[in-house]
Amino acid sequence: MTFIPDFMGSTGSVSAWEEALLVAMIQYPVPVIKGPADIQTQVDQICKAVATTKAGYPDLDLVVFPEYSTQGLNTAIWTYDEMLLRIDSPEIDRFRKACRDNDVWGVFSLMEQNDDPSLPPFNTAIIINSQGEIALHYRKLQPWVPIEPWSPGNYGMPVCEGPKGSRLAVCICHDGMFPELAREAAYKGANVYIRISGYSTQVNDQWIWTNRTNAWQNLMYTISVNLAGYDGVFYYFGEGTVCNYDGNVLQQGHRNPWEIVTAELFPRLVDKARENWALENNIFNLGCRAYVGKPGGEKENYLTWVRDLANGCYKLPWDETIRIRDGWKYYPEGVKLGPISQAGLPG
């Protein structure tokens, strides 16, 4: 299939200022995956999209693909060995080559086989630099319960140095609904927070709200992109969103598959806001409350949930009444791991 960029939106152009980080987010059409061969088709298409997008935007620094763009969302087959990848898989080597050949950074999604094959896989994002090296390896911390059968991420929230003075972190889909994860990325120095998603329309409004609040509460850019199109079950809304560090939307995609949402970002401005703002500097003020009334501010932890989480005793007042506590309705026989049976692919 030939990649044709039908729709483009930009707050910049095909070129960028010296200090500007030019980003392009691909509203990738939701893949319908029925077997391993279909994954190879997506890898071909993604690599071609890297090349053609860079050709269209010669100054492009970073191209971002949504969650599930590589291996799809077929819940009947997505945990079987043949449907999984590893960081050293040939498919990932092809992504690395595409970034190196086109002198561009890239963000890619993979469902990653667990180091212990008796445990469920990880939902993973990687950032590859323009030399083809893996600059960041992230495993989804908050899988979308009660449907996603992934192991909880065990790498925390890593941050890496990116191009044009950026410091990058990436979260995956439902992760973005947790303000704690955005705060963790900012606390570790991220000034550009990337969110890749495979959401259907049930949470379209919340997607935009959380992208904006994650930016504002942490004084950082957020760039977020979702799958687009219909897979025969759900409609995926696209709507790539670029938010300024003051929470305002700089660029908003539509619902078009293959739409390219672009923007020029200035990471140095984030750094300057964090250094010079006072009233708006909530991430700083959290750790030194009331520094006007108390010189240096109050530094003692006053948050019960933070203390309880740290001590392994996090429990809500309504915990006993919570009804949905596992994925039994979706996986009544448990998550199926291992090779596909000789009977062939289920589903």
Catalytic residue IDs = 67, 140, 173
CA 162 to chain centre: 16
| d(C-alpha 49, C-alpha 107), whole Å | 12
Q: How many CA atoms lie within 13 A of 257 on its CB side?
A: 14
Give CB contacts under 8 A, 24+ apart, made by 42-46.
42/69, 42/70, 42/71, 42/72, 43/70, 43/91, 43/94, 43/95, 45/1, 45/3, 46/70, 46/95, 46/98, 46/108
Can you spell out the DSSP letters for 1-60? -------EEESS-SS--TT-EEEEEE-PBPP---SHHHHHHHHHHHHHHHHHHHHHSTT-
Beta strands in 56-212 (DSSP E): 62-64, 105-112, 122-128, 134-139, 160-161, 167-172, 192-197
Rounded CA Rg of the chain:
20
Largest CA distance in the chain: 71
Cβ–Cβ < 8 Å for 241, 222 = yes
Exposed, middle or buried, 58 (CB in 10 Å: 0-12/13-18/19+)? exposed
Cβ–Cβ < 8 Å for 173, 198 = yes
